[in-house]
């Protein structure tokens, strides 16, 4: 069986945005037929961990922003190996490994805090950093907590405890990840989840009145019923706004404070009513009463529908996940009418688009303040790169110059032809993107209206894609020249077959092409059509002479076109800047202030073309 190299991150912690930070790195080799137990054994041996005293948790991230996938069975190992085969780059899909001491996790005091197998494997348990606060965990042994203290000593009830679950908006299982279908996993575990802003003295009353209630943290939760428990007021406000749009009605706010949120139908005689309040003076909100039956007329119900730009922006934000996506205000108006029956003005649709872009890319003004940190990380991940930021005396942005190490080292193997192109930027603060490259930056028009930080990140990824694609093309080339230049030679050769050659001297020839005559000088490598000397590659007239003399056409091609030079040009890779959550920035860089560029913003819609 073939070996699969695996990149491992360990000794780190998970953060609430599904990023693994403060880690160390290592690596192992596994076979393509490896099973779960073999994987655990290999990792534990490499990291020098004893599974008799430690629980292991293995996860990996498939896509940024998505919850990590847990490796907990033979099937999940096979899925991971197939994924690695599709992308063989060593640092892609690293396994994020964490260990917990069994005594610390609760097994020393008979407490089951996670699903544990006989191999010391912890499965489907969210890391500690996901949990807002820590409260005492109650042992299945009646009335005993994790430290062996009787429940009465801490004011914690001695009755059998139900589970208070936190609903995960992405997975179908609860945040504990408790599963009962794997071999060796203990079922029927009594767990009390930590809940924000709820401390010891509040638990007595809460557990008496609210057993088995699901805690909802998804702002787009669809099923609204009386008795539900929400993470905070902001969550329940967003849920009701989305609920109104989906169900084609409006409401008015009767009372809104830090402890209550009550809604009524705009029609005074309508019976529709919604009341919620905080639970025991905590941040949690519970629906106390909800009458979802409207007794008002349909006309009153549909008038002035709730469709704020912020709510619609949250609903359409995924439409702009890709920088090249085109989703205009007109598209928003059409889709909101088709999907929800909501009529929008063009201005509200435009504002909704701006809200969605802000949610995804942040504030364009704040983007300038992050420039020093981004440039520091760019040069850190790509040593040898140049990134210079120039500011005015007042600290306003003037320009930034970036040259990646891969481009710097690759230039000496490129033909010395530089075309400087300027593309107008379309953000509120305007500007110009100037590139010295072989491809016109203006063809990527959709990136020009992004905040400056996202623009730089986009251009870095673009160079990364170019280098990788050209490197693969060079590696797959089996001819003397690169594929592009080999095709040009073939086309020129086909054209040259219709030409007549008349020798003038040993090096000078006259080539007749229909009614036109061209002079070719093989010693000087020139042709009166100019292409021979400009392209540094035989033109059709020169190929006609070369074929006439049975010479090697490749010796008249520039070395910049051969396969070896192409490989050297793209030999150095461009590495992406890591996620902002794991940046390690020196204090002096963090303290550097960059203000937006000064200048008057011109009225009207920015022009995409210069003429």
Dump pLDDT digits (tens) for 293-309.
Answer: 888 877 665 554 556 67
Residue with tokens 């009335």, as numbered in its chain = 143
User: What's the CA gap between 579 and 598, in Å, rounded?
Assistant: 29
What is the token pair recorded at 537?
Answer: 């590659």
The C-alpha angle 362, 364, 368, rounded to 5 degrees, equals 105
Burial class (CB in 10 A: 0-12, 13-18, 19+), 178: buried
Give per-residue pLDDT as tens, 479-512: 899 888 999 999 999 999 999 999 999 899 999 9
Minimum mean pLDDT range among 190-199, 242-251, 572-581: 190-199
Provide Rg for the chain, Cα atoms.
33
pLDDT score of 430 more than 70: no
Residue with tokens 């160079």, as numbered in its chain = 463
User: What's the mean pLDDT when you consider all of the chain?
Assistant: 75
CB 151 within 8 A of CB 144: yes
What is the token pair recorded at 579?
Answer: 């996620």
Output 28 or 418, whichever has higher pLDDT: 28
pLDDT the model gives residue 175: 38
Q: How far is C-alpha 575 from the geometric centre of its chain's CA atoms?
A: 15
Give per-residue pLDDT as tens, 72-86: 999 899 889 888 888
pLDDT score of 189 more than 70: no
What is the token pair recorded at 123?
Answer: 């499965």
User: What's the CA gap between 477 and 483, in Å, rounded?
Assistant: 6
Q: Is 397 helix (H, G, I), strand (E, B) or coil?
A: strand
pLDDT confidence tier of residue 605, bands split at 50, 70 and 90: low
Give per-residue pLDDT as tens, 107-147: 454 433 333 343 444 444 444 433 333 333 333 333 334 34
Closest by CA position to 132, among listed 82, 194, 216: 194
The C-alpha angle 274, 276, 280, rounded to 5 degrees, equals 165
C-beta neighbour count of 133 within 10 angstroms: 10
Q: Is 260 helix (H, G, I), strand (E, B) or coil?
A: strand
Residue with tokens 């679950």, as numbered in its chain = 165
Q: What is the mean pLDDT of residues 312-330?
A: 78
pLDDT score of 239 more than 70: yes
Per the DSSP assignment, residues forming a β-bridge with 253 are 263
C-beta neighbour count of 368 within 10 angstroms: 24
pLDDT the model gives residue 1: 66
| Phi, psi (deg, nearest 5) at residue 31 | -85, 160
What is the token pair recorded at 145?
Answer: 């907590």
What is the token pair recorded at 552?
Answer: 């090697």
The pTM of the whole model exceeds 0.75: no
Residue with tokens 């430690």, as numbered in its chain = 54
pLDDT score of 362 more than 90: no
For 169-190, the DSSP string reads SSSSSBTT----SSTT---S--
Q: What is the mean pLDDT of residues 230-252?
A: 84
pLDDT confidence tier of residue 222, bands split at 50, 70 and 90: confident
CB 203 within 8 A of CB 156: yes
CA-to-CA dists, residue 382 to 51, 157, 406, 458, 543, angstroms: 38, 58, 8, 16, 43
What is the token pair recorded at 443?
Answer: 């063809």
Residue with tokens 């790509």, as numbered in its chain = 382
pLDDT the model gives residue 435: 52
pLDDT score of 413 more than 60: yes
Q: Which helix (H) or strand (E) holds 529?
A: none
Q: Is 307 helix (H, G, I), strand (E, B) or coil?
A: coil
pLDDT confidence tier of residue 518, bands split at 50, 70 and 90: very high
In percent, the amount of the chain with pLDDT more than 90 equals 21
pLDDT confidence tier of residue 194, bands split at 50, 70 and 90: very low
- The pairs formed by 231-234 with CB atoms below 8 angstroms and a separation of 24 or more are 231/196, 231/283, 231/284, 231/285, 232/196, 232/283, 232/284, 232/285, 233/258, 233/261, 233/278, 233/283, 233/285
User: What's the CA gap between 607 and 199, in Å, rounded?
Assistant: 57
User: What's the CA gap between 77 and 70, in Å, rounded?
Assistant: 9
Residues in contact with 3: Cβ distance below 8 Å, sequence separation at least 6, in sequence order = 29, 30, 31, 32
What is the token pair recorded at 320?
Answer: 């702009």
pLDDT the model gives residue 432: 54
Q: How far is C-alpha 496 from the geometric centre of its chain's CA atoms?
A: 52
What is the token pair recorded at 467?
Answer: 């280098």
Q: What is the dihedral of CA 177, 182, 186, 191, to 10 degrees?
A: 10
pLDDT score of 99 more than 50: yes
CB 171 within 8 A of CB 156: no
Residues in contact with 53: Cβ distance below 8 Å, sequence separation at least 6, in sequence order = 101, 102, 103, 120
User: What's the CA gap between 30 and 47, in Å, rounded?
Assistant: 15
User: What's the CA gap between 163 and 166, in Å, rounded?
Assistant: 10
Burial class (CB in 10 A: 0-12, 13-18, 19+), 196: middle
Q: DSSP code of 595?
A: B
User: What's the CA gap between 364 and 257, in Å, rounded?
Assistant: 32
CB 58 within 8 A of CB 96: yes
Closest by CA position to 567, among listed 480, 438, 454: 480
Q: What is the mean pLDDT of residues 209-236?
A: 81
Q: Is 352 helix (H, G, I), strand (E, B) or coil?
A: helix
Q: What is the mean pLDDT of residues 362-366?
A: 73
pLDDT the model gives residue 300: 61
pLDDT the model gives residue 18: 83
Residues in contact with 587: Cβ distance below 8 Å, sequence separation at least 6, in sequence order = none
Q: What is the 3-state secondary structure (H, E, C) of 261-290?
A: EEEECCCCCCCCEEEEEECCCCCCEEEEEE
In percent, the amount of the chain with pLDDT more than 70 equals 71
pLDDT confidence tier of residue 356, bands split at 50, 70 and 90: confident
Q: Is 453 helix (H, G, I), strand (E, B) or coil?
A: helix
CB 170 within 8 A of CB 220: no
User: What's the CA gap between 558 and 211, in Å, rounded?
Assistant: 79
User: What's the CA gap between 238 and 484, in Å, rounded?
Assistant: 55
pLDDT confidence tier of residue 603, bands split at 50, 70 and 90: low
């Amino acid at each position: 069986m073939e070996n699969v190299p695996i990149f491992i991150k360990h000794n780190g912690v998970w953060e609430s945005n599904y990023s693994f930070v403060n880690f160390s790195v290592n690596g192992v080799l596994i076979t393509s037929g490896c099973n779960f137990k073999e994987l655990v054994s290999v990792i534990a041996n490499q990291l020098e961990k004893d599974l008799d005293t430690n629980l292991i948790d293995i996860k990996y991230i498939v896509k940024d922003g998505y919850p990590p996938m847990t490796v907990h069975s033979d099937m999940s190992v096979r899925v991971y190996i197939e994924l690695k085969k599709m992308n063989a780059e060593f640092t892609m899909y690293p396994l994020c490994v964490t260990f917990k001491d069994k005594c610390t996790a609760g097994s020393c005091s008979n407490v089951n805090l996670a699903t544990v197998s006989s191999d010391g494997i912890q499965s489907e348990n969210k890391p500690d950093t996901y949990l807002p606060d820590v409260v005492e965990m109650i042992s299945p042994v009646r009335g005993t907590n994790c430290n062996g203290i009787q429940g009465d000593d801490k004011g914690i009830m001695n009755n059998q405890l139900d589970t208070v679950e936190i609903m995960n908006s992405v997975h179908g299982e609860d945040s504990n990840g408790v599963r009962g279908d794997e071999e060796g996993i203990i079922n029927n575990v009594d767990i009390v989840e930590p809940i924000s802003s709820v401390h010891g003295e509040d638990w007595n009353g809460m557990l008496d009145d609210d057993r088995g209630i699901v805690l909802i943290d998804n702002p787009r939760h669809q099923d609204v019923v009386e008795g539900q428990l929400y993470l905070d007021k902001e969550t329940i406000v967003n849920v009701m706004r989305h609920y109104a749009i989906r169900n084609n009605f409006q409401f008015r706010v009767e009372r809104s404070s830090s402890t209550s949120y009550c809604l009524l139908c705009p029609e005074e005689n309508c019976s529709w009513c919604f009341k919620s309040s905080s639970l025991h003076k905590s941040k949690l909100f519970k629906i106390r009463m909800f009458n979802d039956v409207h007794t008002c007329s349909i006309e009153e119900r549909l008038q002035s529908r709730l469709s704020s730009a912020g709510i619609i922006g949250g609903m359409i934000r995924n439409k702009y996940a890709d920088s090249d996506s085109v989703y205009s205000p007109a598209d928003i108006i059409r889709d909101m009418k088709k999907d929800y029956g909501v009529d929008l003005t063009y201005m509200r649709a435009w504002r909704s688009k701006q809200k969605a872009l802000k949610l995804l890319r942040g504030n364009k003004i704040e983007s300038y303040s992050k420039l020093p940190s981004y440039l520091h990380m760019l040069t850190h991940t790509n040593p040898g790169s140049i990134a210079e930021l120039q500011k005015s005396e007042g600290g306003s942005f003037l320009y930034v110059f970036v040259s990646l190490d891969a481009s710097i080292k690759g230039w000496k193997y490129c033909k010395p032809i530089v075309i400087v192109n300027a593309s107008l930027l379309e953000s509120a603060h305007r500007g110009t993107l100037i590139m010295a490259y072989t491809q016109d930056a203006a063809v990527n028009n959709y990136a020009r209206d992004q905040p400056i930080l996202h623009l730089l990140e986009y251009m870095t990824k673009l160079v990364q894609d170019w280098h990788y694609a050209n490197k693969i093309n060079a590696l797959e080339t089996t001819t003397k020249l690169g594929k592009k230049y080999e095709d040009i030679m073939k086309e020129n050769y086909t054209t040259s077959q219709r030409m007549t050659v008349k020798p003038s001297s040993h090096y000078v020839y006259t080539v007749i092409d229909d009614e036109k005559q061209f002079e070719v000088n093989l010693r000087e490598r020139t042709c009166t059509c100019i292409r021979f000397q400009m392209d540094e590659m035989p033109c059709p007239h020169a190929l006609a002479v070369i074929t006439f003399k049975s010479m090697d056409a490749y010796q008249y091609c520039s070395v910049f076109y051969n396969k070896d030079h192409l490989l050297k040009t793209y030999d150095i890779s461009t590495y992406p800047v890591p996620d902002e959550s794991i940046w390690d920035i020196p204090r002096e860089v963090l303290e550097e202030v960059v203000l937006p560029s000064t200048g008057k913003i011109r009225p009207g819609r920015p022009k995409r073309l210069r003429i």
